Amino acid sequence: MTAPQTHAQKERRRLIWVYAGLAPFLFIAMLPLYWMIVTAFKQNQDLYRMDVFPLWFNLAPTLDHFRTLFYQTNYGAWIMNTLVVAAWVAVITLLAAVPAGYALARLRLPGAENAGIAIFMTYLVPPIILFLPLSRVVSMLGLQDSWWALVVVYPTFTIPFCAWLMMGFFKTVPMEMEEAARVDGCGYLGALVRVVLPVSLPGMLTAVIFAFTLSMQDFLYGLAFVSPGDQKPVPVGVPTELIRGDVYYWGSIMGAALLVGLPVAILYNFFLDRFIQGITGGVGK
């Protein structure tokens, strides 16, 4: 060993090690996304050749793929479907999950703990076991081949998750306020509507975000229940409609993926910690 290191030197060495360790992770995580972005803006002559450096533009970038998407496919309709389905799912989820979370967390119901766990467990019943019987339900309701089918089935996973999330949330809201309200003459409903709900807006916003982002992770239900090309949401429409036989329009596919995937990923990113808390510690606080 040479002369003893100063504190600053040690710190610099530690940082170098940390960044060096993180670099491969960032590379693995970001490269596919980067490739998606570059692909979406490349001209086809630039895209389908192997003799030049592929990770940058060898010809001028283009918006052609996006034009194709909006003028020659149902992409615009898929975006609308996605948003409308998400809005309905969010409304249904809120109407069911917020009262349930409140009841389980605050009203000291007999068996509340077990009921809460039972509801959360249903989140873990995989769609692959439910989709065949649900296809019967969907056709009984006359909703096959329309995005309404998804409005009915997506809450099967968003309600359990969000009820669990809201239950954890309501446990952190101080109890005294609603008691004061109740003593002042509000009934249980009055206390809930006037005192508890206003302070619960952040929790409800989180539930809405998850109703949306969890719906975006579905593929099976959309694939099984919605076949008309103009009824699909984006995550189902892109893989099923933009791939025609063996012909892949990679530029358009990546453009379509990017335009919706990136905002969803960013939104989800902000709420990821809540998601992790939700599944690991909704109760244990």
Considering only the stretches 2-10, 71-79, 203-211, 232-240, report the one whose residues sit in contact with another protein under the rule CB under 8 A: 232-240
**Shortest CB 57 distance to another protein, Å:** 14
List of residues 6+ apart from 240 with CB closer than 8 A? 223, 232
Give the footprint of another protein on residues 67-106 (CB under 8 A). Answer: 92, 95-97, 99-100, 102-104
Binding mask 108-147 for another protein (x = CB under 8 A): xxx-xx-x-x-xxxx-xxxxxxxxxxxxxx----------
Tell me whether residue 220 is exposed, middle or buried, using C-beta atoms within 10 angstroms of its C-beta: 0 to 12, 13 to 18, 19 or more: middle
Q: Residue 214, Cβ neighbours under 10 Å: how many?
A: 20
**Shortest CB 201 distance to another protein, Å:** 18
Give the footprint of another protein on residues 30-69 (CB under 8 A). Answer: 30, 32-33, 35-36, 39, 47-50, 54-55
Question: According to the binding rule CB under 8 A, does residue 252 interact with another protein?
Answer: no
Question: According to the binding rule CB under 8 A, does residue 5 interact with another protein?
Answer: no
**Shortest CB 194 distance to another protein, Å:** 15
Give the footprint of another protein on residues 192-221 (CB under 8 A). Answer: 192, 213, 216-217, 219-220
Residue 233 near residue 81 (C-beta atoms within 8 A): yes
Is residue 283 helix, strand or coil? coil
Give the footprint of another protein on residues 176-195 (CB under 8 A). Answer: 179, 183, 188-189, 192
Of 3, 6, 8, 25, the one binding another protein (CB under 8 A) is 25
Rounded to whole angstroms, the Cα distance separating 101 from 107 reads: 10
SS3 per residue for 22-46:
HHHHHHHHHHHHHHHHHHHHCCHHH
**Shortest CB 81 distance to another protein, Å:** 14
Rounded to whole angstroms, the Cα distance separating 234 from 147 reads: 11
Residue 81 near residue 232 (C-beta atoms within 8 A): yes
Of 22, 59, 177, 199, the one binding another protein (CB under 8 A) is 22
**Shortest CB 195 distance to another protein, Å:** 15
Residue 246 near residue 59 (C-beta atoms within 8 A): no
